[in-house]
Chain A
Amino acid sequence: MRARSLVLVWLALLLLLALSVGATFLPIGGWRHGISIGVGFVKAGLVLWFFMKLRTAGGLARLSVLGTLLFLMALILLVWIDYASRSSYRGSGIMTGEPNAGSTSTHFS
Chain B
Amino acid sequence: MNASGEGLHDAPREVDPPRRTPAEASSYIADGYSLRSWFVTTDHKRVAVLYLVSITAFFFIGACAAALIRLELLTPAGDLLTNEGYNRAFTLHGVVMIWFFLIPSIPNVFGNFLLPLMIGARDLAFPRLNLLSWYIYVFAGLFTLYVLLTGGVDTGWTFYTPLSSTYANGHVMAALTAVFIVGWSSILTGINFIVTVHKLRAPGMTWGRLPLFVWAHYATALILVLATPVLTITLILIALERLLGIGIFDPSLGGDPLLFQHLFWFYSHPAVYIMVLPALGVVSELVAAAARKKIFGYWFVAYSSIAIAVIGFFVWGHHMFVSGQSMYASTIFSFLSLLVAVPSAIKVYNWTATLYKGSIALNAAFLFAMGFIGLFVLGGLSGLMLAMLAIDVHVHDTYFVVAHFHYIMVGGAVTAFLGAVHFWWPKMFGRMYNETWGRISAALIFLGFNLTFFPQFLLGYLGMPRRYHVYPPEFQALHVLSSSGAFILGLGYGLPLIYLFYSLRHGDPAEPNPWGATGLEWTVPSPPPTHNFEEVPRVENEPYDYALRHDESIG
Contacts and interface: CB of A to CB of B under 8 A. Distances in A.
Interface string A24-67: 00000000000000000000000000000000000010000001
Nearest to B259: A79
A18 interface: no
A78 B326 contact: no
Interface in A68-109: 68, 71, 74-75, 78-79, 81-86, 88-89, 94-95
B266 A82 contact: no
A67 B326 CA distance: 27
Interface stretch (B15-23, B123-131, B327-335, B535-543): B327-335
A34 B370 CA distance: 54
Contact of A60 (B198, B258, B313): B198
Given A71-B226, A78-B317, A89 B327 contact: yes
B524 interface: no
The binding surface of chain B is classed by DSSP as helix
Contacts of A75: 230, 262, 266
A81 B332 contact: yes
Contacts of B222: 67
Contacts of B327: 85, 89, 94
B96 to A, nearest CB: 28
The binding surface of chain A is classed by DSSP as helix
Interface residues of A, number: 18
Contacts of B487: none
Nearest to B322: A95
B325 interface: yes
A50 B148 CA distance: 50
B314 interface: yes
| Central interface residue in A68, A75, A78, A94, by most chain B CB within 10 Å | A78
A88 B327 CA distance: 10
Contact of A78 (B198, B226, B258, B333): B333
Contacts of A81: 326, 328-329, 332
B272 to A, nearest CB: 16
A100 B198 CA distance: 58
A85 B329 CA distance: 7
Contacts of B259: 79
Contact count band on B: 20 to 34
Interface string B309-324: 0000110110000001
B328 A68 contact: no
A86 B320 CA distance: 13
Contacts of A85: 326-329
A79 B256 CA distance: 12
A89 B331 CA distance: 15
A82 B314 contact: no
Given A74-B313, A75-B230, A82 B326 contact: yes
Interface in B159-208: 198
A85 B325 CA distance: 9
Nearest to B330: A82
A21 B313 CA distance: 35
Contacts of B266: 75
Nearest to A80: B329
A89 B327 CA distance: 9
B187 to A, nearest CB: 13
B326 A83 contact: yes
Contacts of A78: 262, 314, 316-317, 329, 332-333
Interface of A: 60, 67-68, 71, 74-75, 78-79, 81-86, 88-89, 94-95
Q: Which 6 A-B pairs have the closest CB atoms?
A: A82-B329, A85-B328, A85-B326, A86-B326, A81-B329, A82-B326
11 contacts: A71-B226, A74-B313, A78-B262, A78-B317, A81-B326, A82-B329, A85-B326, A85-B327, A85-B328, A88-B326, A94-B327
Given A79-B262, A83-B326, A94-B327, 20 more contacts: A67-B226, A71-B226, A71-B313, A74-B314, A75-B266, A78-B314, A78-B316, A78-B317, A78-B329, A78-B332, A81-B332, A82-B317, A82-B326, A82-B329, A84-B326, A85-B329, A86-B324, A86-B326, A88-B326, A89-B327
